[in-house]
Structure 1
């Protein structure tokens, strides 16, 4: 698909995108940066005490920043596991120290550590799903909100699975359903100065969704279940996010935009 020409809707803006060293998150950071934003990217992976893994995580972040800078994008990278309070604070503090403000926060980090049905899911897995997929967005915004002024914007990344959780990822889907309600609640709480919206991506071939999209039969079933007869792309999700985050959507808040090629997507 030929990429649409883009403008400069984020000139002078500062954007934080979590889980943004690859996949949908990286494409979002790239899109915002190409439209003029100074972008702060971070790794969603947990930092381990082993030095070799820690170095690998910094390498992931550094490579993402280098890729963005190679396209003329102003960017910095910060290692941050969103369920770690100190690392969340560090992400916000370093952004403000560098750029003096925060205009856009895109909360993209998510986990799906199990394919068990809900009633067989271990409590530790339930806790991880809740902590990363829901609670982390709230806690991150608690840190970020004091630095977000009039005209700022938040975009939460949910999923089409939030509308109809699939049995192999049911509890993940439930956490994504929670983000639909969180979007409404935060929009009321953070308005009128900050708008809060959400996108619900369909199935996109990324490392995160590889166990689904790499299965030819399942992929064909998903494609047949869309009106457009294809899977989504990371660029599709980035374009939708950029629209909701920019001033073109200045009269939109508390809404979820389903970006799933026409898949069934209503509660």
Structure 2
């Protein structure tokens, strides 16, 4: 029996692909959106039961609005939304060299995109449904030269609690902020190396995260069992954000 129909943005590669597969395996119907035509074709050729795919730029309001009308006519109500689409590479040039075009595009996809999806899709959700925004631990911690990504993800966490207040009580809105999630096997057309043993060992949980770790929490947050949870951020990082890290010998650096 179907658990309902959910919309996942950025569904064709990386974490989004992992979550798409997870929800399909748990008897959800998935409407997957992505801007990557190659990844969409690869996923479409897999012919996964319960999956429908749409090519979409989440930062294009007209396209989002058009899709909303199409969903309403063809599918009716949704039971959940996962805002996952993002320009996921956090690094760019130094702040002195940061391109305004890059800054604006990252904010457009990573922050404006979820807002547009909620603006035009929230009315398709059944009362009691939920939205999950995929943030990042980089909303709270940074490495050099990651201003655009950090700012967008920080904004998404604030957008989450604002939406929870505005859309409640009919719709709940929460955020999941992953740390290091291994998506090396979920990148069509790319050959990325998996994490090393040292990468796993540095995590208090003993391993790097997997897409299923995020997907399982998203599934819970979309369910009626999470009916008293809204406006919250959940960190999924294997304990890394709680680990105090100092160089053993700073003078050696």
- Name 1:4's counterpart in structure 2: none
- Name 1:150's counterpart in structure 2: 127
Structure 2: unaligned runs, 5 residues or longer: 244-253
Aligned pairs (5 A) from 1:183-194: 183-194=160-171
Shift of 1:194: 0.4
Give the SS at the match of 2:182: coil
Taking structure 1 as reference, are residues 132 and 209 closer, same or farther at Cα in structure 2, changes over 3 Å only? farther
Give the SS at the match of 1:105: strand
Structure 1: unaligned runs, 5 residues or longer: 1-7, 46-56
TM-score (norm 1): 0.80
Give the SS at the match of 2:146: helix
How big is the alpha-carbon RMSD for the aligned residues of Structure 1 and Structure 2?
A: 2.7
| Moved segments of 4+, more than 4 Å | 207-210, 213-217
Structure 2 residue 246 is matched with structure 1 residue 263: no
Cα distance in 1 between the residues matched to 2:129 and 2:47? 23
Which stretch of the first structure deviates more once superposed, 30-39 or 248-257? 30-39
Shift of 1:113: 7.2
Shift of 1:208: 11
- Name 1:88's counterpart in structure 2: 64
Cα distance in 2 between the residues matched to 1:216 and 1:99? 40
Aligned pairs (5 A) from 1:225-236: 225-236=202-213
- Name 1:43's counterpart in structure 2: 34
- Name 1:60's counterpart in structure 2: 39
TM-score (norm 2): 0.84
Task: Determine if contact 2:164/2:173 at 8 Å carries over to the other structure.
Answer: yes
Give the SS at the match of 1:103: strand
Task: Determine if contact 1:103/1:153 at 8 Å carries over to the other structure.
Answer: yes
Shift of 1:224: 4.5
Cα distance in 1 between the residues matched to 2:8 and 2:144? 29
Shift of 1:215: 9.0
Aligned pairs (5 A) from 1:138-217: 138-206=115-183, 214=193
Shift of 1:68: 5.9
Aligned pairs (5 A) from 1:249-260: 249-260=226-237
Shift of 1:196: 0.2
Higher strand share: 2
- Name 2:250's counterpart in structure 1: none
Cα distance in 2 between the residues matched to 1:25 and 1:34? 14
